[in-house]
């Protein structure tokens, strides 16, 4: 599933389709499309090496991060 953001354009709303997806589907400007509209929940997953670095940093600086989050 690809996700996009709704943007207002005049009295309508638009969602863009990434170029890579257009090419993958062999679609061109003006082609009709079918859509299922629903609100998406987006979550992010860190690459393993970045996740490990974050965990090390969190353990070493936990109180500092908590202080910053509160102020």
Which pLDDT score, from 0 to 100, does residue 19 have? 92
Alpha carbons 27 and 34: distance in angstroms, whole number:
12
Which pLDDT score, from 0 to 100, does residue 44 have? 83
Residues 16/4, Cβ–Cβ less than 8 Å: yes
Q: What tens-digit pLDDT sequence spans the chain (71 residues)?
A: 788 889 999 999 999 999 999 999 999 999 999 988 888 888 888 999 999 999 999 999 999 999 999 98
Which pLDDT score, from 0 to 100, does residue 42 have? 80
Residues 55/46, Cβ–Cβ less than 8 Å: no
Residues 15/38, Cβ–Cβ less than 8 Å: no
Which pLDDT score, from 0 to 100, does residue 37 have? 87
Which pLDDT score, from 0 to 100, does residue 54 have? 93
Helix (H) / strand (E) element for 7: namely strand 7-9
């Amino acid at each position: 599933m690809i996700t996009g953001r709704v943007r207002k354009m005049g009295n309508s709303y638009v969602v863009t389709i990434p170029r890579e997806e257009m090419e993958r589907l062999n679609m061109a400007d003006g082609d009709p499309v079918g859509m299922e509209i629903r609100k998406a929940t987006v979550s992010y997953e860190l690459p393993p090496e970045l996740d490990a670095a974050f965990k090390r940093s969190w353990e070493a600086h936990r109180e500092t991060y908590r202080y910053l989050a509160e102020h």
